[in-house]
Amino acid sequence: MEQDIMQKVMDEVMKRLGSGSTVVTPEKAAQEKEKCETPNVSVQSVVGVTEYVGISEGDTIGLVVANVEPMLQEKLGIDKKFRSVGIFSARTGAGPQIMAADEAVKATNTEIVSLELPRDTKGGAGHGSLIIFGAEDVSDARRAIEVALKDLRRTFGDVYANDAGHLEFQYTARASYACNKAFNAPVGRAFGLIVGAPAGIGFVMSDTALKAAEVDLIDYLSPTKGLSLTNEVVITFTGDSGAVRQALIAARMIGKKLLGAMGAEPKSVTTPYI
């Protein structure tokens, strides 16, 4: 299998160079293979599927369908004007993907036509996600997926985990239609999301956040209330931008201490942004 992949990479390098007289060394081929395994870099030459856009954090894959089969479109209730769709599908994480999708909607001529949160996380305590963008042109659908894949590295910055559970904090100064569809966030206002697993830690973080700043609670979600029986407590809230950030920072401080008491120090998945 490894030799087959390496051969495909070497063939692709030869095509790019456009000259059979140029020698492709094993070192060069290895570099190309490494590029193909880097998140957010398309490996179209290896995958060989036109629907493929890329991969990123959280076992997330981005796909496009240029012309959706009409029967499937009708069954899903997708407006017929959206001939093309972008698909943002993940095993691990919902908040980061939704926040990244929110940025993608702001940057492209697309809409969120479907958003589901399956019970998954590859055996962990939380959700996976399935987000579908609708677009009238396939180029818009592809661009939305590219933006979302790239932004995932940022939105995973305030996700912290150890073997005992995970914490998540998300912030935007101006919520758009993905946050509105998923969480009823007021469009155009600052928005915050707090997730804690196990659920008891999420409850304490929620209480701390609401006491720390003057914010308006949008929703409280628990294993049997709004979640797919996941072992989490989630709150969403809005308010002044500074207050939303203050609430998130207070919750993050106590959450990391509590989860750390159950195992190793919780580390950021990438780089914190709040």
For the stretch 103-114, pLDDT in tens is 999 999 999 999
The mean per-residue pLDDT over the stretch 45-69 comes to 89
Backbone angles phi, psi at 86, to 5 degrees: -110, 135
72 and 144 together in one domain: yes
Among candidate residues 168, 198, 178, 186, the one with its CA nearest the CA of residue 237: 186
- Work out whether the CA dihedral 38, 40, 41, 47 comes out positive or negative: positive
The mean per-residue pLDDT over the stretch 143-148 comes to 98
> Higher model confidence: residue 83 or residue 3?
83
Q: Is residue 23 part of a domain?
A: no
164 and 147 together in one domain: no
255 and 216 together in one domain: yes
User: Residue 34 — very low, low, confident or very high, per pLDDT cuts 50/70/90?
Assistant: very low
The mean per-residue pLDDT over the stretch 151-179 comes to 96
d(CA 160, CA 268): 5
- Given 139, 157, 175, which residue is the final one in a domain? 157
User: Residue 121 — very low, low, confident or very high, per pLDDT cuts 50/70/90?
Assistant: confident
The mean per-residue pLDDT over the stretch 47-68 comes to 93
Q: Is residue 26 part of a domain?
A: no
Q: Is residue 100 part of a domain?
A: yes
The mean per-residue pLDDT over the stretch 10-27 comes to 45
Contact between 101 and 89 (Cβ < 8 Å) = no
pLDDT at 103: 97
Please give the residue range of the domain that contains residue 128.
49-157
Q: Is residue 44 part of a domain?
A: no
Length of the chain: 274
d(CA 131, CA 37): 23
Asked if residue 128 has pLDDT above 80, the reply is yes
User: Residue 72 is which amino acid?
Assistant: L
Q: Is residue 194 part of a domain?
A: yes
144 and 53 together in one domain: yes
SS3 state at 241: helix
133 and 205 together in one domain: no
The mean per-residue pLDDT over the stretch 137-159 comes to 97
55 and 152 together in one domain: yes
d(CA 118, CA 126): 9
**Percent of the chain predicted with pLDDT > 90:** 78
Reading phi first (left if > 0) and then psi (alpha if -120 to 50, else beta), residue 194 is in: beta
89 and 143 together in one domain: yes
90 and 174 together in one domain: no
Least reliable range by pLDDT among 69-78, 100-109, 186-195: 69-78
- Given 107, 126, 157, which residue is the final one in a domain? 157
The mean per-residue pLDDT over the stretch 120-125 comes to 84
Asked if residue 2 has pLDDT above 90, the reply is no
Query: What is the total count of domains within the chain?
Result: 2
153 and 165 together in one domain: no
User: Residue 62 — very low, low, confident or very high, per pLDDT cuts 50/70/90?
Assistant: very high
130 and 162 together in one domain: no
Q: Is residue 7 part of a domain?
A: no
The mean per-residue pLDDT over the stretch 163-173 comes to 97
SS3 state at 233: strand
- Terminal Cα-to-Cα distance of the chain (whole angstroms): 42
Q: Is residue 184 part of a domain?
A: yes
121 and 196 together in one domain: no
Q: Is residue 142 part of a domain?
A: yes
**Percent of the chain predicted with pLDDT > 70:** 83
Distances (CA, A) of 93 to 59, 123, 129, 253: 9, 12, 7, 21
193 and 254 together in one domain: yes
Q: Looking at residue 245, which CATH number applies to its domain? A: 3.30.70.1710
- Given 96, 126, 157, which residue is the final one in a domain? 157
- 112 has which bridge partners? 133
